[in-house]
């Protein structure tokens, strides 16, 4: 359950990150791949070395999707429907991995924003990423 203020904080953060979406997304992914090597198994077809074009492009897609979703959180089930199908039927990612990515995204935000990543922002973002992950995993079974 997100309060009005929390929704504002979330939008504020993603708006600030949109211009550097590729960098932020790539860093979060890289942190995840290095901390949790099992997550690399889904990317054997890509070059996920640091600063690779694949990594930046994928990172950008993810951050932009997160930013877009934050604009209308109440309707995530509708706006994410195509991504739900994609993750469930094509990618078939083990759902626990969403948590691992969310954690690494939060660490990336902390590094990027320092003190501005206040406990309230952290709480709001954690809730948003959990909700986003839950919606993405809806069609898994």
Partner 1 sequence: MVEWTDSERAIINDIFATLDYEEIGRKSLTRCLIVYPWTQRYFGAFGNLYNAATIMANPLIAAHGTKILHGLDRALKNMDDIKNTYAELSLLHSDKLHVDPDNFRLLADCLTVVIAAKMGAAFTVDTQVAWQKFLSVVVSALGRQYH
Q: Binding of partner 1 at residue 10 (CB under 8 A)?
A: no
DSSP for 45-101, written as a single string: TS--STT-HHHHHHHHHHHHHHHHHHTTGGGHHHHTHHHHHIIIIII---THHHHHH
Q: Which of 123, 131, 138, 139 contacts partner 1 by CB under 8 A?
A: 123
Distance (Å, whole) CA 72 – CA 131: 12
Distance (Å, whole) CA 79 – CA 65: 10
Report CA torsion sign: 115, 121, 127, 128: negative
Q: Binding of partner 1 at residue 47 (CB under 8 A)?
A: no
Task: Lay out the site mask for partner 1 across 97-116 (x = CB under 8 A, - = otherwise).
Answer: ------x--xx--xxxxxx-
Q: Binding of partner 1 at residue 51 (CB under 8 A)?
A: no
CB of 92 to partner 1, least distance (A): 26
Q: Which of 26, 30, 76, 105 contacts partner 1 by CB under 8 A?
A: 30
Q: Binding of partner 1 at residue 14 (CB under 8 A)?
A: no
| Contacting range for partner 1; rule: CB under 8 A; set: 28-36, 60-68, 90-98, 133-141 | 28-36
Total residues at the site for partner 1 (CB under 8 A)?
20
Q: How many helices (H) and strands (E) does the chain have?
A: 7, 0
Structure letter (DSSP) for residue 113: H
Q: Binding of partner 1 at residue 12 (CB under 8 A)?
A: no
Binding stretches for partner 1 (CB under 8 A): 27, 30-31, 34-35, 103, 106-107, 110-115, 117, 119-120, 122-123, 126
């Amino acid at each position: 359950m997100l309060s009005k203020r929390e929704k504002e904080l979330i939008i504020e953060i993603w708006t600030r990150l949109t211009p550097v979406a590729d960098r932020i997304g790539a860093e979060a992914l890289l942190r995840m791949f290095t901390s949790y090597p099992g997550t690399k198994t889904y990317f054997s077809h890509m070059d996920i070395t640091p600063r690779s074009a694949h990594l930046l492009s994928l990172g950008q897609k993810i951050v932009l999707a997160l930013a877009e979703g934050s604009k209308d959180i109440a309707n995530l089930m509708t706006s994410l429907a195509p991504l739900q199908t994609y993750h469930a039927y094509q990618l078939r990612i083990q759902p626990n991995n969403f948590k691992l990515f969310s954690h690494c995204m939060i660490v990336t935000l902390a590094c990027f924003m320092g003190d501005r990543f206040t406990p309230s922002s952290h709480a709001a973002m954690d809730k948003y990423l959990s909700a986003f992950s839950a919606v993405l995993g809806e069609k898994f079974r």
